Structure 1
């Protein structure tokens, strides 16, 4: 209490803070998922086009998943893609086909029923995910009732660019998310996908709080030779703004997220049992057990079985049906890697720190890859002399399995920002310091304030250095903090109300290339 405020005799206590303000580290791994969900309501409240934070998959289920029916009914399907077996006149050039009753068939989805967000959320939590934000821009649209054309990319007309961009704009008022993820973005046309990616990078660079994780159109079913066209198309459509805030992964990953109980006969031919019957029990080679089961499905009677029970019966009665379900599972489990990578980054941040590159590690649940890239093929992804837009490869290694084998941003030609861990570390440091200095707004712009700010930031950076986030044999080698008249401010700055703080940090960079030098030495006498 100032002495001038004491007006009457007595004993007065003046408490003095023993400790200065401190920098509280901000969260580094909080993804925001934007896309289409099974539903978006809870307790009568709509969550469509609203930003909602969740802390577990159970919370996601409570708000965005269909409620479970009362037993003994089968569980509600949260994702219900439709597939068609399309007979081919000749053996398809693509090796991914089925032979049924001596005829060739391609298994093709109804593009209007393909979505990725739900399973991406599951993959995120499977890989150690924690807090996340969800922006549901709507539910699933109506099926088209037909399959996509063979050899084309999946474009879902129910996935709308304007809806996704509106969902992105809702995050302008949210400072906590550190990753933007649009699992359904690859279901847009190439042009619309490019527009969305450019908007994401622009918003990330403006807010300086988040990175954008991209998936690549064509990564789901890449051509072994012409896949480079998909890479070129991606690079041509990401623009030139905010590239250091973006990172991309290739190809898609075959996962184990969906299991046998998630797919059944209702996912075939739009539920048309007659088309299924002609395959499983043809007139020239009938399967009486299958015919009986299918008749029971079409004419359920007074005490029908559940879909799960009928499905189990068909799996036991028909090897062909089991093979079809296996093929569908393999296809629906091909997912964009962005959701899994968000989980990987969360785990690494929690165990080691944001400065640890999210590479040379596995994605839990990844079981296969649609293309196995070689070292020479990855070289063209990792470094591009013209655009500098590096793409991180996910590769298979004998004895090791599937590993994330890259940790670069799209700004691959920049010495400052080509590494993802550097960009994310700088976001972490900048935002932590920014929030810590806010209480000093409108404080006297004098030496005492300057020293308090310097001490607070220096203490924070010292702790980061001790944890291994900054390089240098001593704290003075790792960082410097300057704030004061004559060093960071002029008299005009003070008159105009500016307090300038300059922080220099030596951020840890990954050892991306480890080079051994071997030389032969002549034998010498002992």
Structure 2
């Protein structure tokens, strides 16, 4: 009697697929919540969309419970029309796609008839999946709630538990006068836990409203000197509001605008940047479809926002530059004093690499925890990290300076680990860090002492006027630490 034996082999793929770098989740109120087939979404269900048209198909249009404030002059001309509403998700999604955003997920926590309430958002965060597929989270509709700091803390703690997720945090609305107080309150209330898992942004952005039909309440104001003349016109307008609404819709030069938090804009910039340049870089493209900002940030203010000497809680800004448009100016996490995780690009790159390797290991079938398996895993990780280094994600003149992968008995595992079925890999990355300074080197031919005296006599006023200033890069501001040396060691990553 003959017996046949089949030796079972480990089925290990040598190719590591890169994890999704940018997949935002937006949480907020919508007009409805259905799938593209019209099936109603259950409470707490995240739904994926790929375009603004698909968003409106599944989640409806902008809220109609909006106040439209119209300013008119003595010639019966509409000078400006500004909308006000507590629901921001619809406009933020429009900004997201206008600035290069792609596939994202939406979590509707209710319709426009339901009031904004902190408990609604708290429950939504608690019901988020234990292992997130999305990599960014924002909740613009929560920005006006008094409990916003507690909700943002809860969001940071959720991201802390994920392998590849960061929170985009909006600050409450502020203008030039209220900016300092808003920043101080935010830094005081956000806490000190899991700060490297989120980044904060201001100011708000002014965007277009789709049309004049998206308002329910009408307020008319007058330019100076016109109030008396138009009291009767205001009364007539209230009576004939539908006619006035049609009139607004047909004014060729009238643009309805509103201020919204910047999270949708930021998420769109990050998504487009990840596709075109890589998660290890920060967006440098100008912002699209934004008319103005709620506050104007100057260099001195930027320095204080970027580096918080007291608490280290950095805040990034959008700024307008003549001839360049509106740019994202700043690239720090909330953990501005953290040497390793102060930069958004570093944290997101680390998350991306870790998630890629985690996903690879979870999809392999390891039959034997032996040298053959270790060798195959080591090769796959090395090939993946080599590709990322060549793309610019890791720093180092040579690959051995950029990363390492270790796995084996008495190296990452003990005999007991192997006996208990534990497979432990130790990988290290030298992340590419952004340059917060550009250095200007000036070479000047020295003159003799006699020449110098003669020049001083000829140009006495120049002695104290000549100043040379280095031009900083978009993410800087003023920081007094040198750039990391090329030989800095990789950051450790343990996967078990």
Of residues 413, 425, 431 in structure 1, which corresponds to 2:337? 413
* Corresponding position of 2:185: 233
Contact 1:51 1:170 in 2 (8 A): no
1:391 and 2:307 correspond: no
Matches of 2:171 and 2:360, distance apart in 1? 38
1:45 and 2:40 correspond: yes
Matches of 1:282 and 1:407, distance apart in 2? 47
Contact 2:212 2:248 in 1 (8 A): no
Of residues 186, 190, 193 in structure 1, which corresponds to 2:143? 186
Gaps of 5+ in 2: 449-496
* Corresponding position of 1:268: 218
Aligned Cα root-mean-square deviation (Å)? 3.6
Contact 1:38 1:79 in 2 (8 A): no
1:3-402 alignment runs, 5 A limit: 5=4, 20-42=13-35, 43-65=38-60, 78-83=63-68, 113-141=85-113, 158-189=115-146, 192-217=147-172, 220-224=173-177, 226-255=178-207, 257-259=208-210, 261-262=211-212, 266-269=216-219, 309-312=246-249, 315=251, 329-330=256-257, 332=258, 334-358=259-283, 360-402=284-326
Matches of 1:471 and 1:499, distance apart in 2? 28
Matches of 2:180 and 2:358, distance apart in 1? 42
Matches of 1:100 and 1:391, distance apart in 2? 43
Deviation at 1:474, TM superposition (A): 2.0
Matches of 2:181 and 2:229, distance apart in 1? 46
Matches of 1:366 and 1:445, distance apart in 2? 56
The C-alpha deviation readout for 1:320-356, integer Å capped at 9, x for no partner, is xx8xx76xx34x2x12111111110111100111111
Gaps of 5+ in 1: 8-13, 67-76, 86-96, 143-157, 270-274, 299-304, 317-321
Matches of 2:245 and 2:73, distance apart in 1? 26
The C-alpha deviation readout for 1:145-182, integer Å capped at 9, x for no partner, is xxxxxxxxxxxxx2111111222223224521000101
1:490 and 2:414 correspond: yes
Matches of 1:170 and 1:124, distance apart in 2? 24
SS of equivalent residue, structure 2 residue 318: strand
Contact 1:52 1:135 in 2 (8 A): yes
Matches of 1:356 and 1:263, distance apart in 2? 41
Matches of 2:262 and 2:29, distance apart in 1? 17
1:282/1:187 Cα in 2 relative to 1: closer, same or farther (>3 Å)?
A: closer
Q: How many residue pairs end up in the alignment?
A: 441
Contact 1:297 1:310 in 2 (8 A): no
Q: State which drifts further: 440-449 or 342-351.
A: 440-449
Q: Report the TM-score, using the length of structure 2 for normalisation.
A: 0.79
Matches of 2:5 and 2:413, distance apart in 1? 37
Q: Report the TM-score, using the length of structure 1 for normalisation.
A: 0.75
Matches of 1:421 and 1:485, distance apart in 2? 34
Deviation at 1:308, TM superposition (A): 6.4
